[in-house]
Amino acid sequence: MFGLGKKRSKFGKFLDKNRITQQELAEASKVNRNSISRLTKSDDNRPSMKNASKIIKTLKKAGHHVDYDDFWSF
């Protein structure tokens, strides 16, 4: 179910590895699920700083040691 045959970004692979669904993350972070879906598909996609901070803050609150640079570069 998690990432079956799909191209995944670093962020998508992280979600798959930690068994975090896009829907769960969207509800917890208050970021649109379509935005999260776009971010999981390709490393070329980057979130706005507002959405990135919401996502990172939510993942840190869940106990993951992550930073913006782990998934997206400037």
For the purposes of burial, counting CB atoms within 10 Å of the CB of 49, is it exposed (0-12), middle (13-18) or buried (19 or more)? exposed
Whether 3 maps to a domain, the answer reads no
Whether 4 maps to a domain, the answer reads no
Residue 17 DSSP symbol: H
pLDDT of residue 6: 73
Whether 65 maps to a domain, the answer reads yes
- Predicted model pTM: 0.85
pLDDT of residue 67: 92
Banded pLDDT at 19 (limits 50, 70, 90):
very high
Tokens 């379509």, located at residue = 34
Whether 35 maps to a domain, the answer reads yes
Q: Which two tokens stand for residue 45?
A: 């996609």
Structurally, how many domains does the chain consist of? 1
Which structural domain, as residue segments, surrounds residue 42?
Answer: 10-69
pLDDT tens figures, 47-72: 999 999 999 999 999 999 999 999 98
Whether 53 maps to a domain, the answer reads yes
Q: Which two tokens stand for residue 64?
A: 């993951």
Banded pLDDT at 2 (limits 50, 70, 90):
low
Whether 27 maps to a domain, the answer reads yes
Whether 2 maps to a domain, the answer reads no
